[in-house]
């Protein structure tokens, strides 16, 4: 799969700056076409961070740092869902499954993201689609454990 540098290249309309002075807990920040990144992240973490900040570029308006504001929470959730679909797209889940990846750690490794990012993406998908959904000729099922199942739908 592609890495964070490919993601940055694909969205080259934005500028990317690694900011050493960024607070440790803050992984990224999007402001006026610039994505500021905390350099103290693994490649897998950076991929998810960059995807989320790119998603903010396309989905968020204004300062959404106040999570007490319902509109800010709504915009944050929308950006996370877009980022999840960027890094954990159903077509990527199908390809990972076809390569033999069943457990979350295997899928995350194949997609080049952390297990935590995969779990967050799956939680968002479950909220949107339920325990499973159809994509093209496949049914993607999120089990109760840490595994994914993909079934080809017969036509």
- The CATH code of the domain that includes 65 is 1.10.10.2910
Model confidence at 32: pLDDT above 90: yes
Domain final residue pick, 48, 71, 87? 87
Instruction: Kindly report the pTM of this predicted structure.
Output: 0.89
Model confidence at 1: pLDDT above 70: no
Q: Which two tokens stand for residue 92?
A: 């990527």
- Residues 67 and 5 both lie in one domain: yes
- Residues 61 and 94 both lie in one domain: no
Q: Mind listing the pLDDT tens digit for each residue in 106-151?
A: 999 999 999 999 999 999 999 988 889 999 999 999 877 888 999 9
Other Cβ atoms closer than 10 A to 107: 23
Average pLDDT in the 60-88 region?
88
Domain that holds residue 30: 1-87
Q: Which two tokens stand for residue 98?
A: 């076809």
């Amino acid at each position: 799969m592609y890495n964070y540098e490919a993601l940055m290249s694909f969205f080259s309309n934005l500028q990317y700056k690694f900011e050493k002075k960024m607070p440790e807990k803050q992984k990224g920040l999007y402001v006026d076409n610039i994505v500021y990144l905390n350099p103290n992240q693994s490649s897998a973490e950076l991929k998810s961070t960059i995807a989320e900040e790119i998603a903010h570029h396309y989905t968020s308006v204004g300062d959404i740092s106040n999570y007490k504001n319902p509109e800010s929470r709504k915009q944050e959730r929308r950006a996370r869902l877009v980022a999840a679909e960027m890094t954990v797209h159903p077509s990527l889940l199908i390809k990972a499954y076809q390569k033999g990846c069943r457990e979350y750690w295997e899928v995350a490794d194949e997609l080049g993201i952390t297990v935590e990012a995969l779990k967050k993406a799956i939680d968002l998908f479950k909220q949107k689609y339920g325990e499973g959904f159809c994509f093209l000729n496949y049914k993607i099922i999120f089990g109760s454990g840490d595994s994914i199942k993909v079934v080809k739908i017969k036509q």
